[in-house]
Amino acid sequence: MEQQHIDVLVIGAGISGVSAARHVLRDNPRASLVVLERRARVGGTWDLFRYPGIRSDSDMSTFGFGFRPWRQARVLAGGADIRQYVEDAAADAGVLERIRFGRRAISADFSHAEGRWTVEVEDETTGARESYSAGYLVGATGYYDYDAPYRPEFPGEAAYQGEIVHPQQWPEDLDHTGKRVVVIGSGATAITLLPAMAGTAARVTMLQRSPSYVLALPEMDPVTSLLQKLRAPARLTHAIARTRNIALQRGSYAFCRAYPRLARRILLGLVRARVGKSVDMRHFSPRYKPWDQRLCVVPGGDLFKVLKSGKAAVVTDHIDTFTADGIRLRSGEELKADIVVTATGLSVRLLGGMALSVDGVPVDVRNRVLYKAVLLEGVPNMSLVIGYTNASWTLKADLAAAYTARLLAHMRRHGHDIATPVAHEADRSESSVMGEALTSGYITRADQIMPRQGTRDPWRLWNNYYRDRAMLRSAPIEDAPLRFDKAGSSGAEAERPRKATRAA
């Protein structure tokens, strides 16, 4: 099997992968770069999910790339538009031509002797095996399991005569026109499906065990709309909206964490003003504090509109059992359903399931910490892109991409072959990098997979854009915990950090 030699190998062609490839090529124009993508198109998550109404749950001025303006005034965009935006960005940046589709990365092993990664890959269209040798590896697959969503099994499912679907595996030919639909869940997917299906379904009911905080955002950004009417340059319009919304995201999150009781009163008051007396507020009154779980947002209050119209309903209860024609609840109420949608969440899998090792020794990612929230402790020449949980994913993905590009340029200038972050045992806490941020179900399940949270800088993940921007875009590359070596060094030499020598 012939081995292909390249400088940088990016795994994943979604938002994170396209951003990483674009930044690396900009700062390292002579680098050879290949992107491996398992799917047949660019887009990642936005190519995978195709359920009715799929849209972003972050505003597009921050969910879009910092280097490419989002040109619409619509605050939350549909999945198809986002996927096309990512593909257009990849094409314009010269990334699209470097993507090899249908490739699944099986394993990656770093050799200190050679100073390179060996990545074994399967071409899923032919079943053929390929081997890549890469100086640097970027894991840009996100943390969702694309093959298997989180899908608990409910009592009595075998007796149910209707259809059960999960949003991650939505059938293209599913017709819900005139059907009774029950959506199990209370997160972003469920609150998106409800108004999207209510227009043609006979009845749509969202069945939740417990409520989530829901906030209505304007459907269109008034400032962006005004600037577009005034024919302001697209980049200026994008920069204004992006700067404002980053501040709003960070400010609202900090306010909710500092003043949870007041924040709760405000959030519930806004819902009450939308639904009036037609909807029982217990369906929108969570037991947890604001931002213990991600805030759900709805454009133009579409969820509240369909509830007020009577086309849809929310039920807060527990499932007792499925029946032949629906679901019986613990309260004794029965929900008739022709279709049940299990919007029960996602399973977590890092690096797309790729096995990771260094000099043949497997790497247990769960017991490692992240250096500056980008580099994995003890793993040479590798960036791991994990976006924000309390803000737009892309904000962090862009920062991680920019840092990776800076690091590679620094290594080239100074003749370094290997860069390895080295931590002490005291730098590692028991909780995961996501466990301290939110308490959502997928966050809790991720504890068995995700790296550990650090106890101090530069190992602690703060989920703070302003702090990360200063650290990843401006701070010197040379740093005591980051060890640089030439190929042929022993991995054991990277057990102890060295002092910084010079600034980048």
User: Where residue 331 falls among pLDDT bands split at 50, 70, 90?
Assistant: very high
Are 3-147+347-425+460-495 and 157-342 the same fold in CATH?
yes
Measure Cα distances from 20 to 7, 96, 115, 324, 424 in Å.
14, 13, 21, 50, 28
Give the integer Cα–Cα distance in Å for 140 and 401: 10
Contact of 482 with 370, CB cutoff 8 Å: no
Please write the tens of the pLDDT for every residue from 41-66. Answer: 999 999 999 999 999 999 999 999 99
Give the integer Cα–Cα distance in Å for 422 and 164: 48
Give the integer Cα–Cα distance in Å for 143 and 325: 36
State the pLDDT at residue 98. Answer: 98
Q: Pairing state of beta strands 163-165 and 339-342? A: parallel
Please write the tens of the pLDDT for every residue from 242-253. Answer: 999 999 999 999
State the pLDDT at residue 496. Answer: 45
* Helix or strand (DSSP H, E) at 327: strand 326-329
Residue 500 has pLDDT above 50, yes or no: no
Collapsing DSSP to helix, strand or coil, 248 comes out as: helix
For 57, list phi and psi in degrees, rounded to 5: -110, 15
Residue 493 has pLDDT above 60, yes or no: no
Contact of 131 with 123, CB cutoff 8 Å: no
Q: How large is the average pLDDT for residues 217-232?
A: 94
Query: What burial class does residue 445 get, using C-beta atoms within 10 Å of its C-beta: 0-12 exposed, 13-18 middle, 19+ buried?
Result: middle
Comparing CA positions, the residue from 406, 412, 416, 407 lying closest to residue 485 is: 416
Residue 459 has pLDDT above 50, yes or no: yes
Please write the tens of the pLDDT for every residue from 166-205. Answer: 999 999 999 999 999 999 999 999 999 999 999 999 999 9
Q: Please report, in angstroms and rounded to a whole number, the separation of the first and last CA atoms in the chain.
A: 39
Could you tell me what percent of the chain has a pLDDT over 90?
A: 88
Mention every residue, 6+ apart, whose C-beta is less than 8 A from residue 234: 69, 71
State the pLDDT at residue 277. Answer: 85
Q: How large is the average pLDDT for residues 152-173?
A: 95
State the pLDDT at residue 499. Answer: 41
- As a whole number, the mean pLDDT across the chain is 93
The domain limits of the chain are 3-147+347-425+460-495, 157-342
Residue 427 has pLDDT above 50, yes or no: yes
State the pLDDT at residue 153. Answer: 93
State the pLDDT at residue 447. Answer: 77
Query: Is it true that domain 3-147+347-425+460-495 has CATH number 3.30.1120.130?
Result: no
94: left (phi over 0), alpha (psi -120 to 50) or beta: left
Please write the tens of the pLDDT for every residue from 68-103. Answer: 999 999 999 999 999 999 999 999 999 999 999 999
Give the integer Cα–Cα distance in Å for 435 and 87: 32
- Could you give the residue ranges of the DSSP H alpha helices within 157-231? 188-198, 222-229
DSSP letters along 366-429, please?
A: GG-BEETTTEETT-TTEEE----SSS-HHHHHHHHHHHHHHHHHHHHHHT--EEEE---GGGEE
Collapsing DSSP to helix, strand or coil, 132 comes out as: strand
| Residue at 52: amino acid letter | P
State the pLDDT at residue 100. Answer: 98
The count of other CB atoms within 10 Å of the CB of residue 87 is: 20
pTM across the whole model: 0.93
Residue 502 has pLDDT above 50, yes or no: no
Residue 391 has pLDDT above 70, yes or no: yes
Greater pLDDT, 91 or 449: 91
Contact of 138 with 14, CB cutoff 8 Å: no
* Helix or strand (DSSP H, E) at 235: helix 234-258
Choose which CATH entry (3.40.50.300, 3.40.50.1220, 3.30.70.1230, 3.50.50.60) describes domain 157-342.
3.50.50.60
Q: How large is the average pLDDT for residues 15-33?
A: 97
Comparing CA positions, the residue from 370, 365, 367, 369 lying closest to residue 354 is: 365
Residues facing 139 on adjacent strands: 11, 384
State the pLDDT at residue 472. Answer: 97
Q: How large is the average pLDDT for residues 361-386?
A: 96
Asked whether the bond before 458 is cis by omega within 30 degrees of 0, the reply is yes
State the pLDDT at residue 442. Answer: 66
Q: How large is the average pLDDT for residues 431-459?
A: 79
State the pLDDT at residue 248. Answer: 96
User: Where residue 504 falls among pLDDT bands split at 50, 70, 90?
Assistant: very low
Please write the tens of the pLDDT for every residue from 284-330. Answer: 999 999 999 889 999 999 999 999 999 999 999 999 999 999 999 99
| Residue at 210: amino acid letter | S
Give the integer Cα–Cα distance in Å for 316 and 334: 13
